[in-house]
Amino acid sequence: MKPPTAHLDPQPWPWVGQLRVLIEHPDEATGLALASVLRGEGFAVAVCPGPAESERCPLVGPEGCAAAHGADVVVTALGLDRPAGREVLAALRARLPGTPLVVAADSVVDPDWLLASVREALAERAGDVA
């Protein structure tokens, strides 16, 4: 008999009235530090460490990812040198083509660069809509 498979049940964003930023960073402490910078500037922020080495990101599967789908901008530092990072990036572009995406070249993300990049991505998106 096959054991039941666990299904992730991503919840919708609880914040209303704030711009929502999803930070994908493999190091929890760094992701939380970056989130703190953005929260200090008034953004609602969720942090995702990305998939474990032996797992696939829900975003690339049929269930999707509520955090990614509800974000106004996604910041990813999962690394393009890893197959999982490239797979997540491809899934973000395919499933969320209208959501701005900020790709950090490596896992060391300067907070000033992050804030400027998020603001620029959101401004460009607002310019596309107008």
- Summarised one tens digit per residue, pLDDT across range 27-50 is 889 999 999 999 999 999 999 988
**pTM attached to this predicted model:** 0.83
- Summarised one tens digit per residue, pLDDT across range 62-101 is 878 888 888 999 999 988 888 888 888 899 999 999 999 9
Contact 127/99 with Cβ under 8 angstroms?
Answer: no
Name every residue whose Cβ is closer than 8 Å to that of residue 87 and which is 6 or more positions away in sequence. 56, 57, 60
Strand partners, 23: 47, 75
Enter the DSSP assignment of 50.
Answer: -
Q: Of 108, 56, 120, nearest to 82 (Cα)?
A: 56
